[in-house]
């Protein structure tokens, strides 16, 4: 699980061009949207692509996204339970 969280942080930094951050800068429970990393709606689409491309998870209910993408912790838990890759 710790490896998955680190991997996720690296993927997010690369996909969202957060060049000023390192994986160590992102806390597992830090909010990804709003006050935390300040991600926006375009970033949310990028996260959906990461789930699909890298973990084989298709998010068919957008309402679930809010909870899944709350933090690295919640993303990693969801991927762990639903991944097909």
What six digits make up the tokens of 32? 């990804």
The yes or no reply on residue 17 touching other proteins (CB under 8 A) is yes
Rounded-to-integer distance, Cα 41 and Cα 56, Å: 21
Stretch that binds other proteins, among 1-9, 14-22, 56-64, 68-76 (CB under 8 A): 14-22
Rounded-to-integer distance, Cα 3 and Cα 9, Å: 10
Residue of 4, 6, 11, 15 interacting with other proteins (CB under 8 A): 15
CA distance between the termini of the chain: 15
What six digits make up the tokens of 70? 């709350």
Site string for other proteins, 27-46 (x = CB under 8 A): -----------x---xx-xx
* Total interface residues for other proteins by CB under 8 A: 14
Could you list the residues that contact other proteins (CB under 8 A)?
A: 15-20, 38, 42-43, 45-46, 49, 52-53
């Amino acid at each position: 699980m710790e490896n998955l969280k680190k991997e996720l942080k690296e993927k997010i930094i690369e996909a969202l061009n957060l060049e000023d951050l390192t994986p160590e800068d992102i806390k597992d429970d830090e909010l990804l949207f709003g006050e935390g990393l300040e991600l926006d709606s375009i970033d949310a689409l990028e996260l959906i692509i990461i789930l699909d491309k890298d973990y084989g998870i298709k998010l068919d209910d957008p309402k679930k996204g809010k909870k899944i993408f709350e933090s690295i912790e919640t993303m990693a838990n969801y991927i762990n339970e639903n991944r097909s890759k």
